[in-house]
Amino acid sequence: MNDSPLGLFITWTVYGTFLPGDARHWRHRIGGEQPSSAGLQRWHQERLVHPVILLDNKMRQLASDSIAEMTDFRDWTIWNIQARTNHVHVVVSAPGYAPALVRDQMKAQATRGLRRSFPVFVDRPVWTTKGDIQFLDTEADIETCVRYLSEAQDRKGRDQ
């Protein structure tokens, strides 16, 4: 019996963005979706050790390409990758692999690529720790996430 989900919808954020308390939304690792809190967000902002560096178009493309290269090597199926200025979304199927390992390997590969090409990322974090992983158990779930990444991200009026 295979207990692996059909796919994974993985999201992680750029260092210093979507901090706890963020008015757009934020997720607690255990408690899930949380309400905004300006005081909590300010508290976390004041404790950032490095400046926030949003990804420009070249950085976004390099992060996407690095992830695609690694997942191809691992023989995982990438359904969609969207590297945005302040976060990355990936819809992937990686049967037999622990979801956290899949996320961490993709983040590490994107980090290597960015640090190799953009010295500003050397000796500092690129991403926040961990990230969100949602299980996709049906083809319809995968299709919905792919459509969201392909269409809804830009319609939301958020960052590119």
Q: How far apart are CA 126 and CA 38, in angstroms?
A: 24
Please tell me whether residues 98 and 136 are part of one structural domain: yes
Per-residue model confidence (pLDDT) at position 4: 80
Per-residue model confidence (pLDDT) at position 1: 43
127 in any annotated domain: yes
Q: How far apart are CA 158 and CA 134, in angstroms?
A: 21
Please tell me whether residues 102 and 44 are part of one structural domain: no
The number of domains in the chain is: 2
Please tell me whether residues 69 and 13 are part of one structural domain: yes
CATH number for position 121: 3.30.70.1290
Which residue range forms the structural domain that includes residue 87? 7-17+55-155
Please tell me whether residues 115 and 131 are part of one structural domain: yes
88 in any annotated domain: yes
160 in any annotated domain: no
Taking the chain (160 residues) in runs of 10, the rounded mean pLDDT of each run is 83 91 77 84 90 97 98 97 96 97 98 98 95 95 94 61
Q: pTM for the whole thing?
A: 0.88
1 in any annotated domain: no
Edge to edge, the sheet with strand 77-83 lists 77-83, 87-93, 7-13, 132-136
Per-residue model confidence (pLDDT) at position 2: 56
